[in-house]
Chain A
């Protein structure tokens, strides 16, 4: 392959897309493995989702973590130990900024630069087209590998009902920033994930009337059980190797002893067992339902004129509808077949990270777990960096590793028993997932 003059060849350098948490750990860990790295970030600063000044940030003023600090911090750069169990989003941003500063990562990041196309050149290398977000000409550079860390919590999932004939305001939770937006309104919140529950609680404190619509019942976990952050208690059980069935039973018991039967408040009963959907951690939702400040309602079937109609025929008249339906992954700069993306938009990646047919293409951060994302993204990026290194230093071993990986059973690293919903495409158990990565890393250890 000969160079066209307008393509700058970056030789062995690796391109990283995004400087959110996942991009930052990837830059650091690639550099630790000796790679030169060019990271492109469309915003003018680091932090991704946690930088709520970013136009695509899904974070709202009151966001606190749902995962506790020890289960959220990076394994080689802890958060300050005097921070609370559940830090505020501004602390997460400060943490990521300090990480970037500490490891001098900004030298490798091109801010205000969007990646608009990534195309394979045929020999495992990639042409990456970038454009300044402030305008200017496009630039093409050639890289030995590309690691995508563009996040999957920014492209809103559309509501299934037509909203065009509705007179009130409809907005996705991504656009919700401040409780002032709720003050004095009649608010309908759609969606029972962590976002929907947080906003419903906030509306209970600010709005005149609040309806909370969910299309199924959920297990609402409190932030603390037995005086400890709930995820830490759960991990104690995992440490003792308590089997899933017994953990589900204990979960039931804990809920029965504390919250009790939520159906007496009008909340639907869960249609699945505990641990079969992404954990919703919110101590206040049931509290406000119990105080009559939040009225649970079923799925929305129609939004027309002034009315919202629900599956049970009930009708109410909200003036603001917030759809907290979650997000879909989006890779506008990649042809779908490169990540084996199916017609629904779901990529099929080995360990949710490695492109199956392109050994020099990987995605970091495309997972969701029963614990914080950062540790998983860290180890994913370590595995990607070591993999790329092994391909250079010992190609034969790399082939052997790839062959062995192709036999790794799916159920060993991803959750298969979950409620079928696009929100669970990348759902993993953090311990099983980390064990799979650990095994991969051991195979790649220098001889």
Chain B
């Protein structure tokens, strides 16, 4: 376990404050369940969760929030923002990270005792993901090596050719090169504080996160991955979006009862 009590970086060089975009869907009535905070990965914003998941989560009785990454961020700043928003919620939150958002969540977990954690299609090791990205989308990925932006393609994010997918891809923003460089070079996350239960979900047909990467993430954070064959990387935007989020909530309900 990596413990870090002396934190000069946090103490002497605090992450600058910014206005953060947080979207939410709240249950009526709210009977005190822990809120869920969704953290999107590269290129995505809070909107990706508003499409389906936020509303669905609220309809099942949980407050749901999604945070957009700040502009000109870094892994440290993203994790800082997640912890800031989580600590600002009325109750201990469940952190749900998707893609690179899962890496951000993994880092946030070392700084905030989450009630539980979910890593969905997690990109925890930048190099492996970059390799996979080069294979599926060389044209969008290569410029990243020369200081350009990383562009994700429909083929990387979706399994088939679902309606609306092109519109989603249109909404993606290009992650500035400094950002994913910070993601690639960052040291691995320290262990979570407060030992939250964790779940890894993903798809064997994800073209960004390999099956091996899923198993590795699960081995570190939570047993075996929960798999949704036939789905692409963007679980929350795929036509079958309901199945994974229901499975996540079922798991959560069980954890909260235990």
**For the complex, is B195 an interface residue (Cβ under 8 Å from A)?**
yes
Determine which of A102, A236, A239, A434 lies in contact with B5 in the assembled complex, contact meaning CB atoms within 8 Å: A434
B6 to A101, Cβ gap below 8 A? no
**For the complex, is A437 an interface residue (Cβ under 8 Å from B)?**
yes
B112 to A32, Cβ gap below 8 A? no
Residue of B1, B14, B80, B194 most packed against chain A (CB within 10 A): B14
Contact with A along B73-86 (1 / 0, CB 8 A): 00000001001100
B1 to A445, Cβ gap below 8 A? yes
B90 to A235, Cβ gap below 8 A? no
Shortest Cβ distance from B9 into A: residue: A239
B92 to A442, Cβ gap below 8 A? no
Determine which of B5, B15, B87 lies in contact with A77 in the assembled complex, contact meaning CB atoms within 8 Å: B87
**For the complex, is A316 an interface residue (Cβ under 8 Å from B)?**
no
A387 to chain B, nearest CB (A): 15
User: What is the CA–CA distance of A445 and B194 in the complex, to the nearest angstrom?
Assistant: 14
- Interface members, chain B 1-38 (any A CB < 8 Å): 1, 3-8, 10-12, 14-17
B-binding segment of A68-76, A200-208, A393-401: A68-76
**For the complex, is A238 an interface residue (Cβ under 8 Å from B)?**
yes
Q: Across the interface, which residues of A come within 8 angstroms of B6, CB to CB?
A: 431, 434-435, 438
**For the complex, is B187 an interface residue (Cβ under 8 Å from A)?**
no
Residue of B5, B84, B87 most packed against chain A (CB within 10 A): B5
**For the complex, is A265 an interface residue (Cβ under 8 Å from B)?**
no
B128 to chain A, nearest CB (A): 29
Q: Across the interface, which residues of B come within 8 angstroms of A135, CB to CB?
A: none
Q: Across the interface, which residues of B come within 8 angstroms of A80, CB to CB?
A: 84, 88
A70 to B11, Cβ gap below 8 A? yes
- Interface members, chain A 51-81 (any B CB < 8 Å): 69-71, 75-78, 80-81
Shortest Cβ distance from A77 into B: residue: B87
The number of inter-chain residue pairs (CB within 8 angstroms) is 70
Contact with B along A426-445 (1 / 0, CB 8 A): 00000100110110011001
A235 to B193, Cβ gap below 8 A? no
Q: Across the interface, which residues of B come within 8 angstroms of A445, CB to CB?
A: 1
Contact with A along B24-68 (1 / 0, CB 8 A): 000000000000000000000000000000000000000000000
**For the complex, is B111 an interface residue (Cβ under 8 Å from A)?**
yes
**For the complex, is B91 an interface residue (Cβ under 8 Å from A)?**
yes
**For the complex, is B247 an interface residue (Cβ under 8 Å from A)?**
no
**For the complex, is B89 an interface residue (Cβ under 8 Å from A)?**
yes
Q: Across the interface, which residues of B come within 8 angstroms of A101, CB to CB?
A: 90-91
B111 to A236, Cβ gap below 8 A? no
**For the complex, is A104 an interface residue (Cβ under 8 Å from B)?**
yes
**For the complex, is A154 an interface residue (Cβ under 8 Å from B)?**
no
B16 to chain A, nearest CB (A): 8
Contact with A along B190-215 (1 / 0, CB 8 A): 00011100000000000000000000
Q: Across the interface, which residues of A come within 8 angstroms of B113, CB to CB?
A: 32, 76
A-B contact pairs, 11 of them (CB 8 A): A70-B11, A70-B14, A76-B194, A78-B87, A80-B84, A81-B17, A102-B91, A228-B12, A235-B11, A435-B6, A445-B1
Which 5 A/B pairs are nearest by Cβ-Cβ distance? A239-B8, A81-B17, A434-B5, A438-B5, A82-B17
On A, residues with C-beta under 8 Å from B are: 32, 69-71, 75-78, 80-82, 101-104, 228, 232-233, 235-236, 238-239, 371, 379, 431, 434-435, 437-438, 441-442, 445
